[in-house]
Every structure is written in structure tokens, then in C-alpha cells.
Structure 1
């Protein structure tokens, strides 16, 4: 079900990101769309959540934020399917897979390692692009669950650029040993916070596509990170 609420107290994009992250942390919330332009929030939930619960999490973030019911008509409640929720990620993977396979079709034979390198280049370039669209919003979401960013906030900002440089490194085939080692370490550390959040059933906004899309943390996020870990480890084994 989806309900629309009025939010007061938001003055900038940072406020928008804070409100979004706070509401995502509420149990049974699966999606949040916040707009400071309309001072509203659309919250998708598995079951009804009391307004006081939502207000409490906002007040804990900043006392200036206030939430009130704007639209609670049962006829407009929407239960989003898995496909509707994760279609941005699924489309990105489909596009990257399709383009990298087309590149291989231009060769005389299919080279699995070259295809993986191109796939990883596309993955890191695209995902870093969405993070850099709103770096501050991404960083604020990432700091909520990443084990390094929680202790060193600067890492949340640096992470997007690390992904960008990894994408470029894979694209130009820069020092494969160094590139794959960095990718393996970075993604292994990243997946720890994701696993903790998913296993503890925390409702947190996934920062994999920055603050552009409202994706809940789930097994999809684990699969994304695990795929990069498997690919980089496979390449490392063939280099050593």
C-alpha cells in the first residue's frame, strides 16, 4: 500500500535525503519518494504504519521535520511488485549485458574474460554515474549501513570516485592485478554492511544507484556486490 503525506521543514536537497533515509528506516516501509518542491512524501509499506511512528523517526533526525496525512484514500493504495521496485537495476544489468555481448559478437570468437572485463567496466561506470548525480544524497544513505563509512564519513564521498576509476581501469585494461585486487577488496568490504542490514531485516534505502532511485536494501543488493566479487576473484586466480 502507498500513502501520501505532507512534510514540513525541508529546505534543501540535503533535508530531502535525510527525510527519505529516516522514513526508509521504519520497519515495513518498502519504498519512499520525497519531494521538497511539493513538501510531500509517498511511502509504500507492507502494512499500515501509525503516523506517530513516522513522526518519531523524523523528530529523531531533526526536530524541524513534521509529517501529516495528505492522502489516505484506500482506493489509491498500491502494492508494488518486485519488478516495479527493481526495474531500474534490472534494466541497467540488461543494457550492460546486451552491449558487452554485442561487442563480443564483433570478434572472431567469444572471450569470456574480455566480456567480464567489459561488463565490470560498464557496471562501475554506470553505478558511479548515478552516485555522482547527487553525491551528498548518496553519501548520507551509504553512511547508514556501510561499515567503513559509518566510522569514516569521507569514505562515503570517496567511494563513488573509486567506482568511477575502477570502471575506467577495466575499460582500458589498466594493470589487471591491481584493478581486480582493488575491486575485490572494495566490494568485499561493501557487502558486509549490506549483509548485516538484510539479515537483520533493517529497512534502509539502498545507495547502489545513489539517491536517484528509491530502492530498498534486499538480496538484489547482495547479488550485485557478490557478482563483482566473484568476477574479480576469477580474474585474480587466472592472473596469479
Structure 2
């Protein structure tokens, strides 16, 4: 995609060159044409880059602004494109599990959560197992347990698979949900640390198949499983 930006503060050809160099150094920028005469920059990028990222890359004497496009709309569009795989997965799991409930006279919330968790763990373990080594290499970068015990990064995918099967066949609900609560709680610690520290790490939730950044979306995924397993435990204790 290509966008035109307004840049103020350029007074000479040297400024023009400095701005162009700084913009080209920004990740995902593929080309930049800068003009001090029109105080503008035409930037080509392989994904939308937020305006503050460009401003941070420039010297404080230069100010960049978006005058030819809606920055909020572009950021929303970029977010949807980035997380489309996860959004689609959640949509399909939600759709299938709700359709299953149509056979019941009344909506069974506990059964729906169990089926949702089954679908979640089976699908996410599937993507991890497509490239187990790639997943493990990404996971060990931020998971607190995998950092100390690297074999856990390989075992984690199979634990998710087991939890998916256990939920699907309704195996000992207390044991299944207890394991889920503990495993997902431990996993969320590393995710929280990475997001709060603003580390640019690839999220391993879908293995190495999709290049997804670590973000609040990952926190929501873990929190959802923790909440569901916690609720199911409380109803049975």
C-alpha cells in the first residue's frame, strides 16, 4: 500500500535526504519519495504503519501528518487483516458450537463452553503440530516455563491436543478443567510480560503458520480459556 504524508521542518536537500533515510529504515517500508518543495512524502509499505511509528523514526524537528487518508480507518483495516486468521477461527468455533445447541430444548451453557474449549484446543494444537519445531522456537522466547524447561515448548502442543480430546469426550471434568486452568494461567504470565514490556515477539498461538504479533488478542485468548475452565470448576466443586 502507498500513502502520501505531509512533513514539515525540511529546509534543505540535506533535510530531505535525512527524512528519506529515516523513513526507509522503518520496518515494512519498501520505498519512500520525499520532497522538501511540497513538504510531502509518498511512502510504500507492505502493511499499514501507524503514524507514531514514523514520527518516532524522524528527528524531532520534523513533523509528519496524514492528510490524504483516514489514519483511524487504516489502522482498523490493518488490525483486521493481521488478526483475520484468529477471528475466523473463533467465528467458526462459535458457529459450530451454537449450532450443536439447537438440538437441545434449552441452551446448555456448560455444554457449550465444553464444546467451545474442545474446538479451541483441537484447532490451535493442529496449527502448532504443523510445524512443531517452529512453534517451540517461538514459544520458548516468551513462555516462563518453556524458558527454564525447553521440552515444555514441544509438550505444550500435545497437552492442548489432549485437552481438546478430553473436552470433546467429556472426560473427568474436574481434572480436565483443573489442568486447563493451571496450564493456561502459566502460559498467560509470559504473554502478559511480553505485552506489558512492549516486546516485538511473534505470537506462537497458531504455531509458525501465521506471523501474528504478540498483543492483547493473545491475552484475551488465554483469559477466555482460564475463565471458562474456572467457571466450570466452580459449578462442580
TM-score w.r.t. the length of structure 1 is 0.71
Query: What's the offset of the Cα at 1:108?
Result: 1.4
Q: Which structure 1 residue ranges, 5 or more long, are not aligned? A: 3-46, 55-68
How many residues align structurally? 179
Q: Secondary structure at the match of 2:171?
A: coil
User: CA offset at residue 73 of structure 1?
Assistant: 2.5
Larger-Rg structure: 2
2:200 and 2:214 in contact (8 A); partners too = yes
Equivalent residue, structure 2, for 1:182: 179
CA displacement at 1:158 relative to structure 2: 0.1
Q: Pick 1 or 2: higher relative contact order, CA cutoff 8 A, min separation 6.
A: 1
- Measured in 2, the distance between the counterparts of 1:126 and 1:207 equals 13
Which of 150, 156, 159 lines up with 2:156 in the alignment?
159
Query: Retained in 1: the 8 A contact 2:24–2:31?
Result: no
Shift of 1:76: 3.6
2:232 is aligned, of 207, 229, 235, to 235
The answer as to 2:190 corresponding to 1:193 is: yes
Question: Partner of 1:128 in structure 2?
Answer: 125
Partner of 1:103 in structure 2? Answer: 100
Shift of 1:221: 0.1
The structure-2 alpha-carbon separation of the partners of 1:114 and 1:212, relative to structure 1 and needing over 3 Å to count, comes to same
Structure 2 residue aligned with 1:82? 79
Whether the 8 Å CA contact 2:115–2:168 is kept in 1: the answer is yes
After superposition, the Cα gap between the structure-2 partners of 1:73 and 1:50, relative to the gap in structure 1 and judged at 3 Å, is closer
| Equivalent pair of 2:191/2:218 in contact (CA under 8 Å) | yes
SS for the counterpart of 1:239 is coil
Distance 2:92 2:138 in 1: 26
**1:72: how far off?**
3.1
| Runs of at least 4 residues off by over 2 Å | 47-51, 71-76
* Correspondent of 1:73 among 31, 40, 50: 31
- Write out per-residue CA displacement over residues 27-46 of structure 1, whole angstroms, 9 at most, x where no aligned residue: xxxxxxxxxxxxxxxxxxxx
Q: TM-score, normalised by structure 2?
A: 0.72
Question: Over aligned residues, Cα RMSD in angstroms?
Answer: 2.1
**How many angstroms apart in 2 are the aligned matches of 1:123 and 1:182?**
15
Give the match's secondary structure for 1:81. helix
Q: Give the counterpart of 1:150 among 132, 147, 150.
A: 147
Deviation at 1:109, TM superposition (A): 1.2
